[in-house]
Structures are given as structure tokens and as C-alpha cells.
Structure 1
Amino acid sequence: MPWAANPSLMSTPTAATTTSQPASNPEAGLSQSATSSQGLPEGFRPPRMYATADTSKSPIRLWRFPYTLAGDGGLSIPIQCTITWWLEVWLVNRHLRRGRLQAIGFMPEPKTRFFRWFMFLNDRPVRNHERRGSRMMHWLLFASSHFARALIVSAVAFTVVWAPSVGVLMLVSLNGGERKLPPGCEHDWCYKKKWAPQIFKSVKGSVLGILTTPLFVIFWLVRCGWALKKNEAHYGER
């Protein structure tokens, strides 16, 4: 046959086969697809959330680690309360000094010792020589007094928000048939990757913010009103 004597035609199938071999490597194709699907800059790890958890080894459970919704919800309450407290300390006082807010002046001062301490109404005022002491010590005392009050609010919020949220999580857990599928769910409440954990954290954080943010704002507006009546130069200390 005339085309069989042409070496260029005979070498064409061999070359095509040789060039197509790297593309047929399944491991190379898998690594390329994984890299392109993530699209992360060099050095960054993929975001860690419940949706990316390896539930085949560690299912998402209510009490047991490493993915514990009860522990996650309990730990986030003091963190959120402390951050909200400090934000309102700065924002409310900033707006008060600029005249954008008006202090509340009709509230009577509390009489009990605990609430007077909690509202920075110490009977003994901070003396000038104490204020002029070590600057670092002054700020340590200032920060510790505010952290203490934020943690007290966190303890109250823990009973108000955390306990009902755990009860709701018990109701929306996997049923009897589904609990047999993930390992380690025989003696605990388990959940799928979506959407119970995400909705739980969003609703809990929103409810906690709605409860604490207005209270913190009112706290500082009332405390500033008492300070203005007494002509106090400093308040919110100790």
C-alpha cells in the first residue's frame, strides 16, 4: 500500500500516543483539580468550619470533642460579651464626649454594695496620687475591673442563652436511624455538617448580641449621668 512506505505517516500515531500519556495520569489530574478547586494563595490553609469537618472519624456531636457544639457555644459567650463590653466602652464614651449622645440622668443610684461596685460607684474615690502612680499598674487595674464585670455578665448570659440553646440542639439532632451511621454517636447527640451547626452559631450569636449590646449602652449612659451630676472627672474605674 503506498502510505505504508511513508515514515512520517507511520510515526504520527506513536507521537500522539507518547504525548497523551501524561494527561492520562490519574494522580496528576487529581492534584491539579484539587489545587484549582481551592484556589488558595500560597501558605494559606482552607477555612476550618463544620462543613469541612471529617465526620467519618470525628462526628459533630453535642458534648464530645473535637467537634462539640455545646462547648463551642459555651466558650463563645464570654468571648463575645467581653468584646462587646470593650467596644461599647469606647463607642459610647466617644459619642458622649462629642455630644452625639446624651447621658441618662433620671435613674437613682443603687444602694446595695454589689451593684454600687458593679456600676463603678465606689464610696472611696480614686485619689490623685494613686492615679499618678505606675501607668502600667493603673491600666492593669482598669482592664481587670472591666474584665471582671464582663465575665459577670457572661455568667448571667450563659444561663439565659446557653442552656436553652442546648435544649434546642437536642431536638434537632439526628434521629435513631441516622445516628447509627456516624461512629461515636451511640451515646451522644450528633449532627450533619450542614446546616444545624451554622444556624446554631448564627442564632446564638445574634440573640446574645441583641440582649447585651443595648444593656451595655444603657449601662454607660446611666453611669455618665451620675458622673455629670457629681462633676466627676473620671468614672469607670475600679
Structure 2
Amino acid sequence: MTARKTKARRLSILALALGAWFWAGVAHAQTPAQSQGETVVDDETQTAVADYNAGNFGAALKEFHHAADRGNRLAEFNYAMMLLNGEGTAADVGEGRKWLLKAAEANMSHAQYVYGKMYDDGDFVTRDPAVAHEWFLKAAQQGHVQAELALANQFLDGRGTPRDNAQAFVWYKKAAEGGDMTAQYVTGSFYELGGDGVQRNLNVARAYYAAAAAQGDPAARLKYQELSQALQKEAKRQGAK
């Protein structure tokens, strides 16, 4: 089973304002994080978000730092990202990693995912897929869709954990149900091919391909059309008996 994979190209500020999650900065996959009711946003953090979005990085850095010192997990995460990316200050990898770990240990699922991703990619740390696996699992168990996809990729590749296609399918399916386009395509592939504890079902495969196609995946659209034609031919063959 070959999976197509996506990954963020850089670490990003995660801003929370007006009750919704937003991304600031450039990311390859801009999937909203799962808040899980896990972060209380105070006035200073809200102000920091506004200053960051306005490009006032120096002010945002100080405000995130103050809020982080009081234990606000969103502020801890955003302060870490600014330090790692060198926004509003010279980059400080050691301090940035410290604050990111604080947010992850405080059970912020997105911080857990990003901390794991650092180790999976070897960004700012020595690459260690096993450590990445531990943090991806923590985030995935909270329903973080990107972590579910990352965990599935690890199980499929045997990276940071023994290869286990059955577990890969479990997590791809969870991420697919969470709306991830890549996971929808791969889940469709599992159902199309069968095996690894998955019963072959072309109708179910077609449904997952359709979901990915609806999000703009051209390969999924082709697979949907291919399976639709195959199922139509099979129906005609059965009807002719």
C-alpha cells in the first residue's frame, strides 16, 4: 500500500480569536487545529494575536510571553513559534523548544502534534521518529486530524514504530472522517484493494474517493470515475444472468 503524504513546510503561529481557530504565516496544509475546549483565551493573548496579525511582532512577542508566564497554553505555543521562527526577536531554538514542550505537556493537542513533527522531520532537533510517534499518538488520541494522518503514515512506513498496516488503516480512517483529503484517498485505496484486515468494498472505496474529489483531489476524481464504471459494468453483467 503506497500512501500520498502531506506535511507542513514550516512551523506556524496558531491564533485564536472570536471563538475560531486561524493560522497566521505560511503552511503547506492549513487544516484548523482541534481546540477540544482546551485553551482559555485571556485579553492579553487576544491582543497579542491582533498585534501579530497586524505585523507588530515586537509587541506580540512581549504579550505572548506575559500570557505564557501565566500558563496560557495558546500563548505558550505562539511564543514558542515566534522564538523558533525569529519573529520579533532573534531566533532562539532552545527557548522556543522549551515553551513548545510546556504547551505540549499541558495537553494542547496542536502543540503535541508540532512537537512530534519537529522530531519526525529533524527540524530544530536531532531527528527521532520514535519520539515523534509518542507525541503524534497523544495528539491523535485527542482527535487532532493532522496527528492522526502523521501517525498513520508512520505505521504504514514502519517509521518510529513497527510497521502495521492494520493500525495505519485505523488512523487513516479516523483522519478521513475528520475531513483530511489525503486520508480520504488512502482510506479509499485500502477499501479498493482489501487486505490487512480490511474487507474489499468498491462501493465504500468509491465513497471515500468521492469525498477527496469533492475537496479538489484530481487523482481521487479519476479513481471515483474508474470505480463507478467498474461497478456499472458489474451490475449489467449480473443483470444479464
TM-score, normalised via structure 2 length: 0.21
Question: Of the two, which has the highest radius of gyration?
Answer: 1
TM-score, normalised via structure 1 length: 0.21
**Of the two structures, which has the highest relative contact order with CA contacts closer than 8 Å and spacing of 6 or more?**
1
